[in-house]
Amino acid sequence: MIRVFIVAASPLARAGLENLLAARDVAVAASRATLEALAEILSDAAPDVVLVDTTGEPFEAALESIVASGLASDVSVVTLGDGLTAAASAEALRAGIRAALPGDISPDQLVAALHAVAGGLLVLHPSQVSEGLPASSAPARALDELAEALTRRELEVLQMLASGRSNKEIAARLKISDHTVKFHVASILGKLGASTRTEAVSLGIRRGLVLL
């Protein structure tokens, strides 16, 4: 069981977090209203993680306070705050904070993040990851209807490709020539927009064209 120290200015917030964590088998080592009050008992509390609720105040100001306290160099810190951007989260990670999470995170996500941080990991919320990732240079292939449907024979060939059969094995099983198999494979690749047999099988599975 991990031990968490809670810092939250609001008594209601402290009580809410204490109850939330206790209900999910997380031990609350102690809770205080300020970082200064935390510093006085930190060594005795010996928490695995310090959870700092910054809700209701500018995150930049809260981050400066945490950095100035030197807390992040002594113990793993997780923050909860409003209006977090990917840039603010990245700045927090650079400052030594293990996770800067939005205040509306679900209880299960929060507990999972605390366990991950206690295990030595850095944590980003999915919303921060998607915001921070660069846009793709090309749109992903949509799984919509194919411009040209695969024929019954092409579906048979695709199923055999998924089974790992070679062109010669497919030809023998379907009683057609190797050249015809190559023609079918090329057509399958073109219709699915795949560049390799493996990619064609993967796309076929995603589209429900291959039975597993």
- Please report which confidence band the pLDDT of residue 135 belongs to, taking 50, 70 and 90 as the band edges: very low
What pLDDT, on the 0 to 100 scale, is given for residue 46? 81
35-63 residue pLDDT tens: 888 887 877 778 899 999 998 888 888 88
What pLDDT, on the 0 to 100 scale, is given for residue 174? 93
166-207 residue pLDDT tens: 999 999 999 999 899 999 999 999 999 888 888 888 888 888
Residue 190 is inside which H or E element, if any?
helix 178-192
89-121 residue pLDDT tens: 888 888 889 989 988 888 999 999 999 999 888
Q: Give ranges for CATH 3.40.50.2300 in the chain.
A: 3-132
Q: Give ranges for CATH 1.10.10.10 in the chain.
A: 152-206
What pLDDT, on the 0 to 100 scale, is given for residue 141? 46
Average pLDDT across the chain, whole number: 84
Chain centroid, CA 51 distance in Å: 20
Cα–Cα distance measured from residue 190 to residue 188, given in angstroms and rounded to the nearest whole number: 5
What pLDDT, on the 0 to 100 scale, is given for residue 102? 87
Cα–Cα distance measured from residue 140 to residue 137, given in angstroms and rounded to the nearest whole number: 9
Fold of 152-206: Arc Repressor Mutant, subunit A (1.10.10)
Cα–Cα distance measured from residue 176 to residue 186, given in angstroms and rounded to the nearest whole number: 15
What pLDDT, on the 0 to 100 scale, is given for residue 38? 83
Q: What CATH architecture does domain 3-132 belong to?
A: 3-Layer(aba) Sandwich (3.40)
Residue 45, number of CB atoms within 10 A of its CB: 18
